[in-house]
Amino acid sequence: MTHPPARRTVLLATGAAALLTACGDSGGGSSGEATAGGSPGRELAKTSDVPVGGGVILGDEQIVVTQPREGDFRAFSAICTHQRCPVANVEAGTINCTCHGSRFRITDGSVTSPPATRALPERKITVEGNSIRLA
Ligand code: FES
């Protein structure tokens, strides 16, 4: 006498497939990289919000703004190029993703520690007085 697969087994298999789809791949895909950002001209932060030698992560905008040297502001996507986790913090001169440990330079977004192999895409900004805005 045989029994069909239990309902619980089928649901688990479906859930695993959904998780795999959501995680994406670590290859060279470019899907969605250009979707992070916001409206041009929109204020991202005040210059005083961004520590010299560090940065701030703007979760709603999915942008990280850094200030490698006083008065030198940069902005990058806050979505890790490895498997698209949002980066977690900016410390010791790097933008850090805690999902798998990738680190990116605050100066140009380039990778300092894998598994990511591609730099964080740069976002264009302008600084007007004490206001940092999307270009
Ligand atoms: S998603 Fe894997 S290190 Fe960022």
Q: Work out the average pLDDT over 28-50.
A: 69
Ligand 1 centroid – CA 2 distance (Å): 44
Instruction: Give me the phi and psi of 81, to 5 degrees please.
Output: -80, -5
How far is it, in rounded angstroms, from Cα 81 to Cα 67? Answer: 21
* CB of 80 sitting under 6 A from ligand 1: yes
How far is it, in rounded angstroms, from Cα 56 to Cα 20? Answer: 30
Q: Mutate which of 33, 62, 82 to test ligand 1's pocket (most atoms within 8 Å of Cβ)? A: 82
**Which of 13-17, 40-44, 110-114 has the lowest average pLDDT?**
13-17
Ligand 1 centroid – CA 33 distance (Å): 14
DSSP string, 48-89: GGS-TTEEEEETTTTEEEEEEETTEEEEEESB-TTT-PBP-E
How far is it, in rounded angstroms, from Cα 99 to Cα 82? Answer: 9
* CB of 119 sitting under 6 A from ligand 1: no
Burial 101-110 (b: 16+ CB within 10 A, else e): ebbbbbeebe
Q: What is the pLDDT of residue 52?
A: 97
In this prediction the pTM is: 0.73
Q: What is the pLDDT of residue 39?
A: 74
Element (H, E) at 16: helix 7-23
List pLDDT tens digits, range 64-123: 999 999 999 999 999 999 999 999 999 999 999 999 999 999 999 999 999 999 999 999
CATH for 28-134 is 2.102.10.10
